[in-house]
């Protein structure tokens, strides 16, 4: 059964005004929301592989939170495998489209809300699973976003993410193409980090890495899929890890003398 209405209302009560960085992200995604919704998925086979993997980790007794849900495509596919799924995004334009999709294809377990993944405001230890797809490279403070995601989990809960690792691309992309695209309003600010650095950042916030995978089927796959567990009562197979110094990632700007 869904989470009680009173609990959801408390967990997602209106928070503080958006930070400057979150407001900039919201404006960018609001402006391109309709075009984004119309774009085809670049790697359908890889996307379906990810959905199958996530479905296998969900169950109908779980309360799930998705942060950075975009226009809700994945949430609509995954919600039937949960007890409840609350999908959030900083962009009101994206959430408006997601709600249109939900109205056209109702899923009782699913609801959408506007919220900033990098801002405190939710009740700790509310969810069994937190999903973050194509989001973590877009936050302004990676450590804070990860800390908040883990705080939202009950002990033993899962943080499941899939993230483009921009620093694994040809250097011309993060240090030339992306800054140029940002300058003309065609790309949002992004963080550059590798899959290894993202794992280290999750561990530094207390997460235990259980699985690291790549699901892409077309050329080099820079999108790393990570399953991490919040330490606590529920236990399962765990991959041994050692904590490493946290790596926030870096804005994708030229190291010196280039376009800013």
Chain segment 208-253, per-residue pLDDT in tens:
999 999 999 999 999 999 999 999 876 443 333 333 334 456 666 5
With a cut of 50, say whether residue 75 has pLDDT above it: yes
pLDDT at position 259: 25
pLDDT band at 173 (very low <50, low <70, confident <90, very high): confident
pLDDT at position 16: 54
Question: 5-168+191-242 sits in which CATH class?
Answer: alpha beta
- Helix axes of 142-152 and 195-204: crossing angle, nearest 10 degrees: 50
* Closest-CA residue to 187 (of 32, 40, 70, 19): 32
**What is d(CA 213, CA 116) in angstroms, rounded to the nearest whole number?**
27
Question: Quick check: 163 and 201 in contact, CB under 8 A?
Answer: no
pLDDT band at 104 (very low <50, low <70, confident <90, very high): very high
| Domain coordinates in residue numbering, the chain | 5-168+191-242
pTM score of the predicted model: 0.84
Question: Quick check: 103 and 75 in contact, CB under 8 A?
Answer: no
**What is d(CA 85, CA 126) in angstroms, rounded to the nearest whole number?**
12
With a cut of 80, say whether residue 13 has pLDDT above it: no
Q: How many CB atoms lie within 10 A of CB 39?
A: 8
């Amino acid at each position: 059964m869904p989470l009680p209405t009173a609990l959801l209302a408390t967990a997602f009560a209106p928070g503080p005004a958006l930070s400057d960085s979150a407001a900039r992200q919201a404006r960018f995604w609001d402006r391109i929301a309709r075009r984004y919704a119309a774009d085809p998925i670049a790697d359908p086979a890889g996307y379906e592989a990810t959905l199958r993997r996530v479905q296998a980790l969900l169950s109908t007794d779980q309360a799930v939170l998705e942060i950075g849900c975009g226009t809700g495509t994945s949430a609509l596919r995954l919600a039937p495998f949960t007890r409840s799924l609350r999908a959030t995004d900083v962009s009101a334009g994206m959430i408006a489209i997601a709600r249109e999709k939900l109205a056209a294809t109702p899923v009782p377990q699913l609801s959408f809300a506007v919220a900033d993944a990098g801002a405190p405001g939710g009740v700790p230890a509310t969810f069994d699973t937190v999903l973050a797809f194509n989001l973590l490279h877009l936050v302004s403070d990676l450590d804070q976003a990860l800390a908040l995601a883990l705080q939202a989990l009950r002990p033993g809960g899962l943080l499941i993410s899939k993230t483009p690792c921009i620093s694994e691309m040809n250097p011309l992309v993060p240090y030339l193409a992306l800054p140029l695209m940002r300058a003309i309003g065609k790309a949002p600010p992004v963080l550059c980090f590798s899959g290894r650095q993202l794992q280290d950042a999750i561990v530094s916030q207390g997460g235990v890495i259980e699985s690291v995978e790549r699901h892409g089927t077309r050329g080099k796959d820079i999108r790393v899929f990570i399953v991490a567990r919040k330490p606590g009562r529920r236990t399962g197979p765990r991959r041994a890890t050692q904590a490493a110094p946290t790596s926030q990632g870096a804005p994708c700007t030229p190291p010196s003398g280039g376009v800013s």
